[in-house]
Amino acid sequence: MVNDKVVSRFTGTPTRENGGIIGKEPLYPPDEVLDLLDRRSIGAITLWTNDCQKDVQNLELDHDGVIKLIRNALRSGRFLNSQWCQQKPGGPWAACDAYTVTQAEWIEAAFKSLDIQYYVKFALNKSGKLLLVVSCHTSS
């Protein structure tokens, strides 16, 4: 059975063609996402995929850490593209914006601060009151 249910505010027909790329402009205005994060704080996000939950756990981030990373991505990161993402095989779809952002992180094993590049991908839900975080991990 094919599931093409879209849970994001941006709608359309989900596809995997062209890597699921929708476009080269953000679907969700950064100022709107930042405002949502400011108004609702940790109530503004949900880690929408199992992979995202695992990645955030591996990074040892709490919800505040994820919010900080998204804020940094929107303010000083680089927008990559917008793309279709599926929650799980046969599950619902979300039209997402993808960003990379580099942050200085203290690396205990190296005993110094190193620049670490992160990849974040998210969508606004239909009501625009919840940010669905699809990916949050370091870039390889």
For the chain, the structural domain boundaries read 31-138
Q: What is the pLDDT of residue 106?
A: 87
Q: Give me the amino acid identity at 78.
A: R
- Tell which residue, 128, 120, 88, 95, has the closest CA to residue 14: 95
| Residues 139 and 115: beta-carbon distance below 8 Å | no
Q: Give me the amino acid identity at 7.
A: V
| Residues 2 and 81: beta-carbon distance below 8 Å | no
Rounded Cα distance, 4 and 91, in Å: 8
Phi, psi of 77 (to 5 degrees): -85, -170
> The pTM is what?
0.92
Q: What is the pLDDT of residue 1?
A: 54
What does pLDDT average to in each consecutive run of 10 residues of the chain (140 residues)? 86 90 97 94 91 95 94 97 95 97 88 93 95 90
What is residue 37's DSSP assignment? H
Angle at 100 between CA 132 and CA 92, to 5 degrees: 25
- Tell which residue, 68, 73, 50, has the closest CA to residue 135: 50
Q: What is the pLDDT of residue 5?
A: 94
Strand 93-107 relative to strand 112-124: parallel, antiparallel, unpaired? antiparallel
Q: What is the pLDDT of residue 74?
A: 98
